[in-house]
Amino acid sequence: GNSFNKMTMQGTCPSPDEMASFWMSPYVVAMISIFAFPTVFWLTMYLIPQVFMCIRPIPNLKERYDAKWALVTGAGSGIGKALAFKLATQGLNVVLVSLDDEYLKATIKELKESYPDLEFRCIGVTFSPGVNYLQQIEEATKDIEIKIIFNNAGFIVTGFLDQTPLGKLLANIECNATASVNITHWALQKMVKNKWKGCIVFTSSVAGFIPTPFAAMYASTKAFVSQMACSLHIEVQNLGIDVCAVHPSPVASNFYDKVDHKIELMEAAQKAAVPPEDLPNEIFRSIGACALRDMGGMAWSTRMGTFFLPFNFFTELFTAAAPYLPDYKKHNQTRL
């Protein structure tokens, strides 16, 4: 070590033996170990449950909870529709809650034709401020026991916050977050009171754990439901009620079709989107095994990539880069 320091101070190059001696010295090894341990520990603790859930047998929710009925919001198309079909394959009757549109009617028709021995109930509602959708759900389900809840409904509003009508932002919060609170509170009270075992699953997003400019409300609501899932997981797990949130990678659905402002980064991500039918098996594997589940390459890489950077630093990187992004420059023209 001393000879290495002397030679460095003299401006001469240390020999290979001296270099090896330096790097193998107890001090250097200890310092490397101290800095490496948190990374190795985090990766291990993250990857073990992820790998386990990839190979875990798909649980039969009907048998697991002795259930007859499940409820899915946003069930007219996309992930919600795929979940409804998966539940039906396990012999569960399904309540489909969604916008009262052609998608919902078509999905109900398909389910009834595919599973004539099961029962399907259709509740066409809008999760908007001032709409008493919970009363409609309560009325339509008052004669059945629902032990399985999928809070899946959601939509995205794009564009700068100051350029978006307040009513649209509040509607986004109501659909993505507040409706989940209302339905979860209603369902949990019944489960706890009657000592039912069951599950409550939230469809969250990768956007919930990274800064998401041009979709601030969407990202905020997804962060909200992920945090709520973790907190409820702790509160009710010992009662036999499984709660989790899933973060899918991009999914090929009509989710992004009607946005006001197209975002190039999202459009690029959509090129790697998977069909919604690929998700239910992985979502089911998450139930009873975790509080949060990252699903797919984008979710995994984003989670592991952001782990190494403090969130505030990561946000400042986005801030520095934002003025050079095509989406920012395009929508910022009206603010100049």
Catalytic residue from among 65, 103, 115, 218: 218
Does residue 218 have an active-site annotation?
A: yes
Q: Which residues touch 317 (CB under 8 Å, ≥6 apart)?
A: 309
Active-site annotation, residues? 218
